[in-house]
Amino acid sequence: MGPGQRPHRERPRPDQRRRHGRLREGQPLTHPSTEQAGAKTPFVAGLLALRPHLSYLDVVADGVPDPREVPLGGPLTDPDRVRRWVEAYARVTERQSGLAPPGMPSAFVLQHHLDPFATVVATAAVRGAWVLDPDPSCWWITLEPTYLYPLSVRVVQGEAREVHDLAVRLDAAAIGYRATGRRLAEAFPSAEKMSSHQRLGMVDDMWEIALHRLVGGPPPERQSCCLMYALPGLHPCTGCPRIS
């Protein structure tokens, strides 16, 4: 049995996220959205065109967020909800692995805010023609209900704009992502003390990893650590600062 495999009927560990099939166009995820109503604006069409390029996420355009969706801006506007997510993630990890190392649930939940945000922003810039609005009020995340990792992202248009020059578009997308990402990371209500190096390093790491998924090249050397190595039988990730 390989390191990424698990026995039949055993729940996946946090490092063994299951790949879910993407929704067919028009198939409901939560509440009806603009795309599902058939009103395909250029923004909606552009966002739907990103789906084949997203490594593990679905993306939903506009529409009314479901109350179960998690607002990206939670660290800024609803820290208690984020704390409950961290506590629930710790319980899931304990059930799967027998322990939840201090700092690891907080690191993963911060990463679960930043990674889908970076992934969609970068994909829209590299594979599309859009600089998405980085205002966190334009973003919501749907979580897998048992294991609490992101399944999909809802994005409303806000101040998103088409930019036809790739270099200009990518630079604007990176600036917007980093500005919002740093606000989220600095406000994130970690259950344990989390250094500014860990917080802000994760902002940069998630952007570099998102670009790496899109364009390839050597794996980025991370500044932050997800602490997954502390789980039984696991090792540091590729690019982990503990081995670089």
Provide the 3-class DSSP secondary structure of residue 59: strand
Tokens found for residue 191: 């259950």
The reported pLDDT for the residue numbered 122 is 98
Evaluate if residue 3 carries a pLDDT over 90: no
This prediction has a pTM of 0.84
C-alpha span between 61 and 212 (Å, rounded): 24
CB 152 within 8 A of CB 59: yes
The reported pLDDT for the residue numbered 240 is 85
Average pLDDT score over residue span 52-71: 90
Among 59-68, 71-80, 151-160, the minimum mean pLDDT is found in: 59-68
Give the pLDDT band of residue 26 (cuts 50, 70, 90). very low
Report how far apart, in Å, the C-alpha atoms of 224 and of each of 18, 155, 236 are. 24, 27, 12
Evaluate if residue 54 carries a pLDDT over 80: yes
The reported pLDDT for the residue numbered 244 is 59
C-alpha span between 207 and 150 (Å, rounded): 16
DSSP classification of residue 234: -
The reported pLDDT for the residue numbered 39 is 57
C-alpha span between 14 and 108 (Å, rounded): 9
Over the stretch 179-200, which tens digit does the pLDDT of each residue have? 999 999 999 999 999 999 999 9
Average pLDDT score over residue span 146-172: 97
- Which has more pLDDT, 205 or 238? 205
Evaluate if residue 231 carries a pLDDT over 50: yes
Over the stretch 86-96, which tens digit does the pLDDT of each residue have? 999 999 999 99
The reported pLDDT for the residue numbered 206 is 97
Average pLDDT score over residue span 230-244: 82
